[in-house]
Chains A and B, each alone.
Chain A
Amino acid sequence: MAAHPDTELIPYVHGELPAPERERVAQHLRECLDCRRDADELRELLDDLGRAVPRPPDVHWGGYRAELREKLAAHRTRRAWWARPVPLTLSASLAGLLLVVAFLAVQSARQSGTGADFASVEEAAIGDRLGLLEQYQVVERLDLLEEFDLISDLDRLAAERAG
């Protein structure tokens, strides 16, 4: 005897099984009294359920459709969350928060040495603008510039060196 049908029994009772499967179940039911009884009980249970489907309370369909139209209209006018206006207090708070975060970021950058990087970039930019980097000899002895006398005679020294 073939294996007892279990999940095939409901589709069998509803006549939904493909031919080979249906034939196998039918053959089994001819030989197995328990399964035949099972199938009969199942058929009766499903018939009972089908006959006694609970009916929901009545609805006035005109009112139902009018309500649906209202809901649909509300949906159409509703903006997506990103397109909705932000309340004034919330936007002011967000702006304040952004300012504080920006201030803290700048402070932290200065303290962590990133500020030194900024200074060197700035020096290079100024140097480039003054043409100092083109006269490397001068840049090499920048410490001399700290002596005021040398600074006042800088043009003369440069002319002498060229001559």
Chain B
Amino acid sequence: MELSDEVLCRRAAEHDEAAFDALVARYQARAYRLAWSIVRNAEDARDVSQEAFIRLYQSAGKFDGRSKFSTWFYRILVNLCLDHRRKHRWWTLWTRDESDPESEESLLDRQPAPAQNPVDAIGRERTLKRLWEAVGRLAPQQQAAVILQVQEELPTREIAAVLKCSEATVRVHLHRAVSTLRKTLKTTETD
């Protein structure tokens, strides 16, 4: 029978290496993807997500089981990502390479939309690309809230637990973020 995250975490707290490895294997892809969505750089996402696992190893004993393990771990990870973003904000803006192959990857190649004519498809692709770029420019808490909801599909209650704020605050973050994104969408459509 597969052990729950919470049991594995308790065992990791007792320095059970196998339990820790199992948690890493279970969460590595999610951690890396979430980190990449916030820091937008593969190398940094790798470092930050690994740092989150190191923190998990060091503080597994502090997990009290009041929340789900995933919520607790996401909190560690998102805090590290937001710290990283804060520290590197100006450097990233200054050195951002618009021809970065990572940012040029076709969104529609990866997530094909329902069949459309090619002109529509190109326009749609451009719109989605600009939308996700706009997500990257949102205020850190708003960006994290959008990614946790849209990408990780967490409910508002869990997003609040990850961001350590109230559900009402998460609603405000999401509302403001979506208002900004809709403005971006309208600008893109009028271009």
A, B bound: yes
- B interface secondary structure, majority: helix
The reply to whether B150 and A50 contact each other, CB–CB distance below 8 Å, is: yes
Distance of A57 Cα from B54 Cα, bound (Å): 22
Across the interface, which residues of B come within 8 angstroms of A46, CB to CB?
149-150, 178
Across the interface, which residues of A come within 8 angstroms of B111, CB to CB?
51-53
Question: Looking at the complex, which one of A8, A57, A68 makes contact with B171 (CB distance below 8 Å)?
Answer: A8
Given contacts A7-B171, A52-B131, A53-B150, contact A45 B54 (CB under 8 A): no
Across the interface, which residues of B come within 8 angstroms of A51, CB to CB?
111, 113
Distance of A99 Cα from B151 Cα, bound (Å): 62
| B147 to A, closest residue via Cβ | A53
Distance of A49 Cα from B37 Cα, bound (Å): 13
Minimum distance in angstroms from B40 CB to a CB of chain A: 9
Minimum distance in angstroms from A59 CB to a CB of chain B: 6
Distance of A54 Cα from B134 Cα, bound (Å): 13
- A interface secondary structure, majority: helix
The reply to whether A45 and B185 contact each other, CB–CB distance below 8 Å, is: yes
Minimum distance in angstroms from A28 CB to a CB of chain B: 16
Would you give the 0/1 interface string for B58-90, flagging 1 where the beta carbon is closer than 8 Å to chain A?
100000000000000000000000000000000
| B97 close to chain A: CB less than 8 A | no
Stretch touching chain B among A9-17, A80-88, A125-133 = A9-17
Distance of A6 Cα from B174 Cα, bound (Å): 10
The reply to whether B175 and A45 contact each other, CB–CB distance below 8 Å, is: no
Across the interface, which residues of A come within 8 angstroms of B18, CB to CB?
none
Distance of A45 Cα from B189 Cα, bound (Å): 13
Across the interface, which residues of A come within 8 angstroms of B171, CB to CB?
7-8, 10-11
The reply to whether A56 and B32 contact each other, CB–CB distance below 8 Å, is: yes
Across the interface, which residues of A come within 8 angstroms of B175, CB to CB?
6-7, 9-10
Interface range for B? 35 or more
The reply to whether A52 and B108 contact each other, CB–CB distance below 8 Å, is: yes
The reply to whether B58 and A64 contact each other, CB–CB distance below 8 Å, is: no
| A61 close to chain B: CB less than 8 A | yes
Minimum distance in angstroms from A80 CB to a CB of chain B: 12
The reply to whether A55 and B24 contact each other, CB–CB distance below 8 Å, is: no
Q: List 30 A-B contacts (CB under 8 A).
A: A7-B171, A10-B174, A10-B178, A14-B155, A14-B156, A41-B182, A42-B178, A46-B149, A49-B131, A49-B132, A49-B150, A49-B181, A51-B113, A52-B108, A52-B110, A52-B128, A52-B131, A53-B111, A53-B150, A54-B132, A55-B33, A55-B105, A57-B102, A61-B28, A61-B29, A64-B46, A65-B25, A67-B46, A68-B24, A72-B54
Q: A42-B178, A46-B150, A61-B28 are in contact. List 20 more A-B contacts (CB 8 A).
A: A6-B175, A7-B168, A11-B171, A14-B155, A46-B178, A49-B150, A50-B150, A50-B151, A51-B111, A52-B132, A53-B37, A54-B107, A54-B110, A54-B132, A56-B32, A56-B42, A56-B102, A64-B28, A64-B50, A75-B58
